[in-house]
Amino acid sequence: MDTVSLSGKELAAAINADTKDRAAALTGRGAAPRLALIVANDDPASAWYVNSLRKSAERLGIDCATVDLGADASADAIRQELAARGTDGATDAIMLQTPLPSGVTLDDVSSAIVATKDVDGVSPLSLGLLAAGLAGFVPATSEAVVELLKYHDIPLAGRHVVVVGRSNIVGKPLAQLLLAEDATVTVCHSRTADLAAVTVTADVVVAAAGRIGLVSGKHVRGGAVVVDVGTNEAPDGKIVGDVDAESVRGRAAGLSPVPGGVGPVTTALLMRHVVVAAENARRS
């Protein structure tokens, strides 16, 4: 079977074109959309990601301020900064970069991000709104998976989707979004007894575990679709996914590449959320 590559590049370009127009309209009315990126680490991969977000924002006409609190910032200091940005009229959108300082978890600080500016949907309020099926910002990576599948005309209603990974920023919100699309959803995790026995029953498998090569040919039913969310650094320094593409290719009907699949759509959706937050703020 030919395995179609579910590229995210064209979709990301279309989202970015719309975002750029909307950012220009806001700028034309007197204020460009403004994103605050809060950083509290000295991790090189995070620095690289922050830099690429800044460049994306710049290309789209979004003002981006980076606030570096240092790798030894306390949970209190991070919460204070997030709260201050929440009430700051010059900030439309807030993103907290991970990893956080040792001993500080996202759960310790995420509730300090006001939901109206929480463009990556990480606060408990945003996650609760999503679970209840109410309007709010949803985590961009989870949304990117659903948008990528829709863009490539993969039906979801009534189909069995198996999500591998149950984190609060990818697996769990993705399960909620898939339920909203009327998929039948199974969520697997590190304590799932026999992963392959579950994933082979899926019409769509989404790998979001952060484990190189976790999903291979034996995990995939012939003709199923596979989305690879993983972004892992291989020993040779290359970025690779969670899927062993070689063994899945020829078996799956479609497979998203890493890089070039979920990643660019995630960044594009984040930037769209920034513009939406700015539009909402100008209306209120």
CB of 8 to ligand NDP, least distance (A): 9
Where residue 31 falls (left for φ over 0; alpha for ψ -120 to 50; beta otherwise) is: beta
CB of 188 to ligand NDP, least distance (A): 5
Q: Which is nearer to ligand NDP, 31 or 106 (CB)?
A: 106
Rule CB under 6 A: say whether 175 interacts with ligand NDP: no
Instruction: Select from 4-12, 60-68, 86-94, 262-270 the region that touches ligand NDP (CB under 6 A).
Output: 262-270
Q: Which is nearer to ligand NDP, 159 or 166 (CB)?
A: 166
Question: Which residue of 11, 209, 274, 281 would you call a contact of ligand NDP, by CB under 6 A?
Answer: 209
Residues in contact with ligand NDP, counted by CB under 6 A, come to a total of 26
Rule CB under 6 A: say whether 211 interacts with ligand NDP: yes
Contacts of 51 (CB under 8 A, 6+ apart): none
Q: Are 34 and 93 in contact (CB under 8 A)?
A: yes
- Show the tokens assigned to 67: 């606030």
Q: Dihedral through CA 46, CA 172, CA 167, CA 68, nearest 10? A: 30
Which 111-150 residues touch ligand NDP, going by CB under 6 A?
Answer: 141
Rule CB under 6 A: say whether 230 interacts with ligand NDP: yes
Instruction: Select from 11-19, 103-111, 150-158, 164-172 the region that touches ligand NDP (CB under 6 A).
Output: 164-172
Q: Is 167 helix (H, G, I), strand (E, B) or coil?
A: coil
Which stretches of the chain are assigned E, i.e. beta strand?
4-5, 34-39, 63-68, 93-96, 160-164, 184-188, 204-207, 225-228, 232-233, 239-240, 254-255
β-strand pairing of 63-68 with 93-96: unpaired
Q: Which is nearer to ligand NDP, 195 or 278 (CB)?
A: 195
CB of 264 to ligand NDP, least distance (A): 9
Rule CB under 6 A: say whether 169 interacts with ligand NDP: yes
Q: Are 229 and 262 in contact (CB under 8 A)?
A: yes
Q: Which is nearer to ligand NDP, 7 or 80 (CB)?
A: 7
Whole-angstrom distance, CA of residue 247 vs CA of residue 257: 14
Residues forming a β-bridge with 37 = 66, 95
Question: Which residue of 231, 254, 271, 277 would you call a contact of ligand NDP, by CB under 6 A?
Answer: 231
Positions touching ligand NDP (CB under 6 A) are: 141, 164-167, 169-171, 188-192, 195, 208-211, 214, 229-232, 262-263, 266
